[in-house]
Structure 1
Amino acid sequence: MASPAHPRPLRVHAPGIHYFDAVRRAGSIREAARRLNVASSAVNRQVLKMEAELGTRLFDRLPDGLRLTAAGEIMARHVTTVLRDAERARSELDALAGLRTGHVDLVTLEGLCHRVVPEAAAALQARQPGITVGTGILGSAEIPSAILSGDAHLGLAFEVRRHPALRQLAAARLPLGAVVPPGSPLAGRESIGIADCAGMPLILPHANFANRDQVETLLQRRGEGLRVQYEAGSVELMKRMVLLGLGTAFMTRAGLEAELEAGRLVHVPLRQGRAAVVSELGLYAHAEVALPAAAAAFAGHLAETIGRLHGPGG
């Protein structure tokens, strides 16, 4: 994940662990060396030295790169914890010195980058302009892994399954609804059931959306006359399809803000029986690793932003 330039990390540990972590992330000696701006031979030497000291191979050398061995996985968990603790110490030392600096890596969904993430970043910039932010876009299922592996401080996603090593920092329950143009016969309704979409071409979120399972469950229960015409892997694509009159899409309001405010699209909440169908948006961090001050600051702004998203049924 590309990140903007940020303050020099605290170097109080042997260089070997930094090199090991870079190789783990990059998947090759050459790419790790490029990212570290050092010679490939220096990186390889440090990895070999660490393997010799531990008495075991940390990486399998494969034709397409390096892969962690079982021993490497154990070492990776240790190194990630050590480096995160060093990062937290650096941010606390900066705070003690009156500096408001640091870097935070966030992984999230494409649709949340239309309004939620930029608003939180703007609030952070206004109060702590020295903090830099790197944002990566992943599918819903990949976000917990990025947090647990140490590749990101924070993850923001829908319908994340509970995990003992994940800590939920904030959450909002957002209505899942049909997205239609203003001229649709559904546009004036306060809410609809999935059966009300019978006879219309439907646009389903692709499997990379956590909401896909929710929509499929509704379709399986009331599938008569319901026809799936398209699947879309991005919010932007679903919006364009609806705007072009290709069908009715299903999603939350996240990512639709500009079109809804301009009256170009209408979001009609779905219900199952009398209950609203909602999707939980959560902000997550590693439960066993303390957040650096910079990440904690950005998490606070993200929590405030998603806290304003509660809607009907939330």
Structure 2
Amino acid sequence: MKSDHLKETSLRYFLEVARCGSINGASERLCVATSAISRQISGLENALDVQLFERRPRGMVLSAAGEMLATHARRAALEADRVVLDILALQGFHKGHVSLACTEGFAINFLPGLVIDFQEKYPGIHFTLQVSGPAHVSEMVRTGDADIGMTFNRLAQKDIKVEHRQPAPVMVIMRPDHALAKSKSIRLSQLAAHALALPTPESSLRQLFDVACSRSGLLIEPRVTSNCATALHRFVLSGGILSLAGEVSVRNYVAEGTMVAVPLQDKMLEGRNIELQTLVGRTLPGVVKTFLSYVKGRLGEAEI
């Protein structure tokens, strides 16, 4: 049984055009003739007596009325998906799908391990994991491209329900043989004397760090800068270099004894939280709710 059977054709085509930004793009994704999609869009516009898209030289953009309809259509599509998944769940979670979006740190070893453990109990459940920046993670939840978003966040997000939030203090990560490895905590000023590998300036963690340094009158230049958290971790593991991370992002390394994570003391670095996000007003399928509870429990194992 497919949830498409429970969705109106016109709304499916409308959503795909909104997603792709063009009728040609929607045609390719849906394997439907452009003329058929155009007729459905025109039918909706005639029925509502509004223009749903602004036709531009480089594509189609939703009008104000189109944005309203898209919000309704996405929720209707998600509800259809939920009904189908819950019907399948009557067979005991033998089949189902969970779509996840997260920032890179969670994708390195935390979420993959959870998914594997979950699938050992429910082998018929399939997962999609997309990795992106914090803002895009929330956007994927808003548009229904992800059932659950996992990200670091400091501000409230429109149409986002926070299912779980917990503090995510900034940790200094290093090899166990580093001079600072036995410290109970590390002051910001102590980092100036050591080689650092830091995220690039667009990272929220790097932005917090730079603001904290500026307000403390410190000028700390990293020896290495990268937009890849995995690469930063490898720099730490390969030599006597320090980096910054959240506890969850490096939990497995710490458990294995290959890395040490020490809290970084500075009030400017407080207020950073891990959030599990879903769409406001959406009724989650049973399998998604079950996995969400599982993630909450595993997050709670953090030693903060």
Normalization by structure 2: what TM-score?
Answer: 0.88
RMSD: 2.6
1:115 matches 2:109: yes
User: Aligned residue for 2:46?
Assistant: 52
Greater mean alpha carbon deviation, residues 175-184 or residues 15-24: 175-184
- SS of residue in 2 equivalent to 1:270: strand
Aligned-partner residue type, residue 283 of structure 2:
A
User: Could you tell me how far 1:176 is from its partner in structure 2?
Assistant: 1.3
1:32 counterpart SS class: helix
Q: Which has the higher helix share?
A: 2
Match of 2:232 among 220, 231, 238: 238
Distance 1:142 1:276, change over 3 A: closer
Q: How does 1:197-216 map to 2 (within 5 A)?
A: 197-216=191-210
Q: State the AA in 2 paired with 1:171.
A: R
The one of 219, 224, 237 aligned to 2:218: 224
Q: Which residue of 2 aligns with 1:296?
A: 289
With 68-77 and 214-223 compared, the bigger mean Cα shift is at 214-223
Q: 1:207 to 1:55 in 2, by over 3 A?
A: farther
After the TM superposition, which residues 64-103 of structure 1 pair with which residues of structure 2 at under 5 Å, given as runs?
64-96=58-90, 100-103=94-97
Tell whether 2:90 aligns with 1:125. no
What one-letter code is carried by the residue in structure 2 that aligns with 1:286?
Answer: L
* Distance of aligned partners of 1:242 and 1:98 in 2 relative to their CA distance in 1, 3 Å threshold: closer
Distance 2:115 2:144 in 1: 21
Please say which of residues 228-237 and 256-265 is displaced more in the overlay.
256-265
Distance 1:179 1:197, change over 3 A: same
Question: Is the 2:89–2:287 Cα contact (8 Å) retained in structure 1?
Answer: no
CA displacement 1:223-248 (0-9 Å, x = unmatched): 33533444321211212333454843
- Cα separation, 2, equivalents of 1:44 and 1:269: 57
Moved more, 99-108 or 280-289: 99-108
Q: 1:230 to 1:22 in 2, by over 3 A?
A: same
Q: What is the CA deviation profile of residues 114-154 of structure 1, one whole-angstrom value per residue up to 9, with x for unaligned ones? A: 22211221233123322221111110122222212222211
**1:256 aligns to what SS in structure 2?**
helix
CA distance in 1, matches of 2:144, 2:88: 22
- Mapping for residues 132-281 of structure 1, pairs under 5 Å: 132-163=126-157, 165-224=159-218, 226-245=220-239, 247-272=241-266, 277=270, 279-281=272-274
- In structure 1, give the amino acid aligned to 2:55: R
- In 2, Cα distance between the equivalents of 1:215 and 1:303? 27
Alpha-carbon contact 2:98-2:147 (below 8 Å) kept:
yes
- Once residues 184 and 98 of structure 1 are traced to their aligned partners in structure 2, the CA distance between those partners, rounded to angstroms, is 50
Change (3 A) 1:202 1:80: same
Displacement of 1:92: 2.5
Over 3 Å counting, the alpha-carbon distance change for 1:207 and 1:297 in structure 2 is farther
Q: Distance in 1 between matches of 2:245 and 2:91?
A: 46
Gaps of 5+ in 1: 1-6
Deviation by residue 1:270-312 (Cα, 9 ceiling, x = unmatched): 1137x9957421211112111122321221222222122x22x
Residues 203 and 249 of structure 1 are in contact (CA less than 8 Å); yes or no, is this contact kept in structure 2? Answer: yes
Check the 8 A contact 2:154/2:271 in 1, yes or no.
no
CA contact (8 A) 1:203 1:238 kept: yes
Q: Which amino acid aligns with 2:175?
A: P
Q: Alignment identity in percent? A: 26
Q: Which residue of 2 aligns with 1:3?
A: none
CA distance 1:246–1:54, change in 2 (3 Å) = farther
State the distance in 1 between where 2:242 and 2:45 align. Answer: 56
Asked if structure 2 preserves the Cα contact closer than 8 Å seen for 1:111 and 1:234, the reply is no
Secondary structure at 2:168's aligned position in 1?
A: strand
Q: 245-254 or 48-57, which moves further after superposition?
A: 245-254
**Equivalent residue number for residue 285 of structure 1:** 278
226-235 or 104-113, which deviates more:
226-235
CA distance in 2, matches of 1:56, 1:244: 61
Which deviates more, 7-16 or 94-103?
Answer: 94-103
The alpha-carbon deviation at position 263 of structure 1 amounts to: 4.2
Count of matched residue positions in the alignment of Structure 1 and Structure 2: 304
